[in-house]
Structure 1
Amino acid sequence: MRLFLFGMLCGAVASGAQTVVSLSDIYGSLQSPNFPEPYPRETEVRWNISVPEGYHIRLYFSHFDLEPSYLCEYDYVKVEADGEVLAVFCGREQTDTEQVPVQGDVITSPRTSLSVLFSSDFSNEERFTGFLAHYSAVDEDECGEKIDEDDVCDHFCHNYIGGYYCSCRFGYLLHSDNRTCRVECSDGVYVERVGAFSSADFPRPYPKSSECVYRIELDEGFNVSLTFDDTFDVEDHPDVTCPYDYVKIETGSSEFGPFCGGSSPGQIHTGSHQVVVVFHSDNSGENLGWRLTYTAQGSQCPVPEAPANGVLNPVQSEYTFRDHILVTCLPGYRLMKDEEYMDHYQLDCQRDGLWSDAVPVCQMVDCGNPREVAMAEVVFGSHDNSTHFGATMRYICKEASPLQAHVNRCGQPRRSLPSVRRKRIVGGLSADSAGLFPWQVLLSVEDASRVPQYRGFGSGALLSERWVLTAAHVLRSMRRDTSVVPLDAQHVQVSLGLHDTRDKRLATNRTVETIVLHPHFQPSNYDNDIAMVKLSEAVELSETIQPVCLPPPQSKEGPPTPFPNSLGLVAGWGISQSHPNNNNSSASASSPSPADPFMPSDLGLTSDLLQYVRLPVVSQAECEASYRSRSASYNITGNMFCAGFYEGGRDTCLGDSGGAFVVQDEASRRWAVHGLVSWGGPEECGSQRVYGVYTRVANYVAWIQSHLNADP
């Protein structure tokens, strides 16, 4: 027995009358002296148990037999931790004044240490045997604990044996305290005139321990105004102004705030073009945060007055810094600025509230003296020999000259075109030689700057030595939006006197100086589908190159021209009989299906030789009814007419976009361009009751003449 006690107390240290035993293993047992024999009298033994960080200590008794006494005054076992008594045991059975550990009861230390004290008084007459207890280290679940009423971890807590660690949601960073999650929110710079931003995760609680800086940086001349949402929730204090979290607004010369609490700051006029919004949060709290929108108002410029015969665009009720106005003139007038003529002039509203320059004036175009023509005299249309816009003049030949002969012979090819009184030409015919349609021109486009490279062609009709008439959609730049912008003139080439496209060298080729799309062209339904092309150099009229005549202007009282059932001719290289399945228009049940402005030349869908076909004009009522029966979205306007056969057929498809629909005047026997190939659909071209749609040229004679007269 003495040998056993020596083994038990080998780690013990006597402290006066008390023996202290230190236990540091992660499990073990302890027992009263002499156990299982009766314990000695007047004895005190203390066991100090310790385990590594991250663990608790579990203690339970498998045997307990001590002298009973009121409130355990004599013999007892006391369990303590961190200076606090967890339990006092004595006796054999549980009574009102004595507590005995029953089997299954477990005492757990709050931290990593536990102390057990055994004490006996001066007697043990009934020979009580004492106790046997066991302990073990158990892992601590730190994730379930609280720190100042907050969770151990801000976002995610991960427990492991002996410890724990915290992590954050995506987009957050772990603070240096290894438990709080913050955000990196100081790199936002706003340069737009209107914008919005908020605290992170708004309207959910914002991150803790964060310093957020939002910068609004606009050009000098703007003043920024901030408007906070009504929902504003930033941690505050009832007695101290914003000691925890706050929003502060700084400008170059002023500071607003700090703001906190539950009342929105509302609207703040900073009076500056550069604003810094600072948001600070500490390491506690679950407040929702804030959101604001900002706007910038620039210096206001006075509303300018348009010059006489001029136009300002855009027209607004007020203009502020960075707004601009484009000044242009009505047809027949040109802008004069610093003794120089220009097509347009831009004015900018500056930061000081003044326009960048005065509005220029519009002066009437002076065409200058007409050029001299050999063997001809000039006769002016007015008594003062005016050469300004709207004036007229004519040449009177002293004797016949080649030029005068060509000018007087518009719409008169070197040999007669096929009679329009003959029966229908099925599928179209080839023009057997050059000069049958001397006004026919080929418009070729090749734009190597686009990816993929863009190539295509269309047709037009020669009106004079410098001007060609065609459809607007042929020369409109293809864009994703509905803006109407012409193609770059340098990508367009015009071939005249062309019969066989296999050898363009035999034709007269010209580059383009100007492309003029009708100002009211509508890409959505091809209304006002007409355009003019000015050649960079005049062409010499010949037997194979001659202008076509314009029809008389459409009168308001008379019926629209061309008249229903009248016959016209259409020429082009667009469709050949060797490709009967080709279709130069595709349809949609919901929108008009205008013909493609250019047909790719590498698809094998073109004819080498010029083709032509004879078609009847369809009544306007039948034209509208045909397309209305397919979809209510088709819009046949008064600027369009239909031609073709009710039963359909491939000849309806012949002709290139922009090509002329010519009708012969019965009195003068001259051919005039009454229509331009515009669009068709919706079924495959040549289907029953699918007519081609043409631009009604008679409605645009005045517009055409304004360009011809202004720059012949």
Structure 2
Amino acid sequence: MLCITRMILSIALSLVLLYIHNIEAAPSVKNLTGSFGSFSTPNFPAVYEDNLDLEWDIKVRAGYQIKIQFTTFDLEDSYEPLEGACIYDYVKIIEGNKTLAKFCGNNNYDAPHDNQWITTQSDEAKVIFVSDYSNEYITPKGFQAHYIESDINECERMKLEQDSTREGWDELVFCNHYCHNVPGSYYCSCRIGFTLHANKHTCYASFCENQIITNETGGVITSPEYPQPYAKLSDCSWIIRFRVGMSVNLIFDNQFDIEEHFEERCAYDWLKISSGGTVNDYCGKSAPGNGLLMPMNDREVKLELHTDLSVEKTGFSVRYSANRIRCLQMIKNPENGQVTFNHDRSYHEFEDIATFSCVRGYKLSGNTQLHCQNDGTWNHLVPTCQIKSCGVPTKLQAVPNSHIEDYDLSKTTYLEILTVKCNEWYEMTSGYSQWICEDSKQWEKHGGSVPGTIIDIPVCKPICGIKGAEDNPLLAQQISDGDPVKKHEWPWLTLLNFGSEPNIVSQVICGGSIISPHYILTAAHCLYNTEYEGNVRYPNATHAWLGVHNRLEDRNIAKSQVINAKVESIVLHPQYFKESPWDFDFGLIRVSEEIKMSNKTRLVCLPQTPNEFDMVDDGAEGEVAGWGLYTTVSGSSYKLYQAQFPIVSTQRCEDAFIELSRQLNKTLNKGLRITERMFCAGFEAGDSHTTCEGDSGSPLVMKNTGTEKYYVMGMVSYAAADTCGKSKSYTVYAKLTQTVVEWIMEKTNNLE
């Protein structure tokens, strides 16, 4: 019974001891701070105690590492299949959170080897020794260890890190040129031309910063150490600056390689080329310009290379050269013109000159010469050739009684032809009808001249002698009691009335003929009046009516549109009634406003040639129209009547007057005779009709069969009849002889 009790107590004590051993007690810590030293198990070299937990904290100077060596090592060896070696007694070396080594035993695999040094990476380490509750079958001596501080080889360590790092390699900072170890530290240095970055590790290229190049003979620019990898963290810049007017040319070597981002292209490293306000970034393996000539056409080009901290590539090499700035805008011949250059090249460069001209008929709009400037631009816009304009043909537009055909469609430009046409009832009597716009920008005569033209500007004169209606058959009746006239059949016929007021239905009337736009020809005796100063009626007492047909109907001037022409002056032939009664019975009335030719007012022709004067011949017939007395009791006619009368010889006319005076027992006016300025026409006696009072001054006209025009050959002057309506003798007409016509031309300034 006693034996059993002792056995139980022994087992219980063992369990208590095992429990106490397994409780983690605070280790005993000893700090070691010297540059070297030693430490050992308690009682060394005697057997160490059970249940020990010791710690030695070693710290050396910053920049150094710790080397530990065990000179003697003898611990209980242990191994458990599930937990491994060194379970009971062991030594553990810890750096930070990392276990550098764990030893136990003696001269076996788990014990440190002879002369083995355990080296830390930093300046701090922990050595922990643990023993369990028993060493039943062995008597281990423990260990003795030594430590020293050792200089760290930072350069080698950086190199190793650089070579072994796979993740985050692009963020490593290391000495990329030279690394120098010094006690407790290291430093980096750079090759010549490079500068140590602020990070104290990276050497960047400073020799390539802010480089100014002015050598126009050419040269080569490369990235730092090309074709070796370029420097990190570098910002190189080269400014190629040539003289004014010179241009930079670049040719890049195809061995081009600058780090490129797989998505953002030139986000890491780049080569930037700036010229003329244009900036381009380049990276990757494609050389700018594909390795071909890049004419920058600017005197200044800037190249900038930027590199980051990571990848280094080959970089670039570029050859630069100089030539003259080129004007890249191509100059072509302007439409209707041409351009010439002061050279025969296919391109244009600084100080070249382009000279412009236009073909005939065109003028240059802009500068005649363009100069290629030093900035590669022309100094002016390219001129154009504009067709020349002769402007408004003022002189042609000013031609009276004319118009320019289709002038509203005219552009009045080079080679355009204008045709001047006379208005209706006018004809061109002198000058050229066609005018062309010439290169001189003047309207010059071109064609369509009138024979015998002396002056160039066309002259439009009224056409004379054109009746306003078809001819009637030969009239058997005479003007007194004759046939009514078709309206405006005799457009030159003028009605004259006298007195203080114009009165178209007056009984005191005469006839007249329009012979020019300003003159009316009538008989002098119509205008002669002894009651007026100079024996000539005053202009304001003489009233001329144009375009009259039926006086009663035409007195409504607004409706009938007859013209009351204001009389400006009156002149009688100076020989009137001087040599013989009614001799030189010619008078001229000038109206103040020009008479415009129309379908109701036109001119009668004046005889000019011998053949025309010779139309007044015995047996020839003439026509007379007027508003004369129908009978002696009826008064003047309101309607216009006409009649046709044969011309008789002077002798026959005089004999008829003598016979009539004998029959009437009347004496002829003393001195009355038929002069060279008179002729007779009509019928001697009988039922035929004759002219009458009121017809005085009315023209006797004859048709020229050659020209188909009517000429005034005489005017009703006087007759030997005591009654109207029945012919008793012939009517005497004032005859237009050559001398009379010359007087008319003189007084009318050749009819102006």
Query: TM-score category by the smaller chain?
Result: 0.3 to 0.5
**Structure number with larger C-alpha Rg:** 2
More helix by share: 2
TM-score of the two chains, using structure 1 as the length reference: 0.39
TM-score of the two chains, using structure 2 as the length reference: 0.37
